[in-house]
Amino acid sequence: MSATSISYFQADVPLADCTTFHVPAQTRFFAEFDSIERLTELLQLADQQKIVRRMILGGGSNVLFTRNFDGLILRNRIGGIEVVGQDQDSIFVKVGAGENWHSFVEYCIKQNWAGVENLSLIPGSVGAAPIQNIGAYGVEVCQIIHSLQALDRRDHTLRTFAADECEFGYRDSIFKRGSRERYVIINVTFRLHRQPCFNISYAPLRQELERMNPDKLSLQVVAQAVINIRSSKLPDPRQIGNAGSFFKNPILPTNQWAELKLSHPNIPSYPASAGQTKVAAGWLIEQAGWKGWRHGDAGCYPKQALVLVNYGQARGQEILDLATQIIASVRAKFGITLEPEVNII
Ligand code: EPU
């Protein structure tokens, strides 16, 4: 490798502080980019140096490293929040993919722009949000995405995707499937509302709001209720390593769900698309006896069984071993195969 490229890429960089799981691993090469020009330059350099494996990292809140990465990790630091249009009902805001998600939510609430308040306190970056269509408390980010821009790694051109071209689904988009290796998300344009249209259909959110008993509902109040619930159930990744829900809630054909409901009448479930029902993976894992389980520093969180945690020194492989055991035991008990939501490297 030449002297110039060494100054572009850092070598043998530890990754423990780059992910919210905080598991030890290192990457052969590492660099950050804060513009499309810089990203293009880094990709060209990686081509010249024949570094084949590349990975884009945002906030590192949805990834588990189980081994060292023999390639180049590029961290997206593209910032900026810019109003790019408005009409009677909406504000269109273009946000750099490297912005922190929760800081963006706080910014919107300060401006009185509605639509993101239910998605408060989700760890990660703005650019990662569309990839897995983050969602919480009755809202998915696809409901407020207008469009996004992504760099095509094949020819380094910038492409705009309208929301309906992203093929959003439950914790899913084209950027999580076939196009995962192809595009780097550069910015996302959100359509936010001037007038709030509160979504408090999610029962625990309604209950928390009743407990708070505010004089009137506002974006701040809803965001605070969401923050209260998340803080009471989910571990703070700055204190206990984790990546939120480790598995997706499985979606079953309704006849399979109906059969399950006969033997397990309390199974929490939600309607999905026609002929399908989503069931709570946290409940399945708890019923299989894993809630609060700990071996060494790898564990299943005692307040939310869907969250696997690193209490300090766990390695990624130990977390993965635990996930594998959980999958096998839930399959044996319920005939359901859980799928990880987290990207396992
Ligand atoms: N449950 C249990 N035991 C547990 C955990 C949950 O019985 O240990 C039951 C609860 O009692 C409830 C049901 O399962 O009846 C659902 O639990 P919860 O409301 O906590 O939500 P979830 O389905 O486990 C999903 C998202 C979360 C999101 C919450 C709130 C997924 C994979 N996870 O969790 O998203 O915050 O709903 O909307 O869809 C994330 O993706 O990282 C994440 C945290």
**Could you state, in order of their start, the residue ranges of all structural domains in the chain?**
3-76, 81-193, 241-344
Q: What is the pLDDT of residue 272?
A: 87
Q: Which residues of the chain have pLDDT under 50?
A: 2-5
Q: Which residue has the tokens 């020009």?
A: 37
Q: Whose CA is nearest to atom 23 of ligand 1?
A: 280
Is 171 a known active-site residue? yes
Q: What is the pLDDT of residue 292?
A: 98
Same fold for the domain at 81-193 and the one at 241-344?
A: no
Q: Which atom of ligand 1 is nearest to the CA of 233?
A: 20
Q: Write out residues with Cβ below 6 Å of ligand 1.
A: 136-137, 204, 233, 244-245, 248-249, 268, 280, 282-283, 286, 291, 304-306, 341
Q: What is the pLDDT of residue 7?
A: 65
How far is CA 88 from its chain centroid?
31
Q: Whose CA is nearest to atom 25 of ligand 1?
A: 136
Tell me the two tokens of residue 99. Answer: 């912005």
Which stretch of DSSP H or E encloses residue 231?
helix 219-233
What is the CATH topology of the domain spanning 241-344? 3.90.78
Class of domain 81-193: alpha beta
What are 13-54's pLDDT values in tens digits?
999 999 999 999 999 999 999 999 999 999 999 999 999 999
Residue of 148, 104, 146 lying closest to 122 (CA atoms): 104
Whole-angstrom distance, CA of residue 173 vs CA of residue 257: 25
Distances (CA, A) of 291 to 265, 284, 306: 20, 10, 8
Q: What three-state secondary structure class fits 286?
A: helix
Whole-angstrom distance, CA of residue 56 vs CA of residue 185: 9
Q: Whose CA is nearest to atom 33 of ligand 1?
A: 245
Length of the chain: 345
Query: In CATH, which of 3.30.450.20, 3.40.190.150, 3.40.50.11540, 3.30.43.10 is domain 3-76?
Result: 3.30.43.10
